[in-house]
Amino acid sequence: MAVTETALGELGIVLGGEQVETGETYEVRSPYDDAPVAVVHRAGPDEVERAIAGAVEAFATTRRLPSWKREQVLERISAGIAERREELARTIALEAGKPIKTARVEVDRASFTFRIAAEEAKRIYGEIVPLDWLPGSEGREALIRRVPLGAVAGITPFNFPLNLVAHKVAPAAFASSSHSSIRSAFARSITGPTSVSSSSGSPTASTSTLRTSSRANAS
Q: Which fold has domain 10-123+153-211?
A: Aldehyde Dehydrogenase; Chain A, domain 1 (3.40.605)
Output the pLDDT for position 219: 35
Residue 76 near residue 199, CB atoms below 8 Å: yes
Give the separation between CA 98 and CA 88, rounded to whole angstroms: 12
- Of 48-62, 125-139, 165-179, the poorest mean pLDDT is in 165-179
Contact residues for 26 (Cβ-Cβ < 8 A; gap 6+): 39, 40, 42, 187
- Region 145-156: what's the mean pLDDT? 85
| DSSP code, position 4 | S
Question: Whose CA is closest to 6, among 32, 31, 28?
Answer: 28
Band the pLDDT of 101: cuts 50, 70, 90: very high
| DSSP code, position 114 | H
Question: Whose CA is closest to 174, among 82, 51, 77?
Answer: 77
Q: What is the pLDDT of residues 12-39, one digit of tens each?
A: 888 887 888 898 888 888 888 999 998 9
Q: In what order do the strands lie in the sheet with 36-41?
A: 10-11, 36-41, 25-29
Q: Strand, coil or helix: what is 100?
A: helix
| DSSP code, position 188 | -
Q: Which has more confidence, 55 or 89?
A: 89
Terminal-to-terminal C-alpha distance of the chain: 27
What are the sequence ranges of the domains in the chain? 10-123+153-211
Residue 190 near residue 135, CB atoms below 8 Å: no
Output the pLDDT for position 195: 57
Q: What is the pTM of this model?
A: 0.82
Hey, how many other C-beta atoms are within 10 angstroms of the C-beta on 6?
19
Residue 14 near residue 47, CB atoms below 8 Å: no
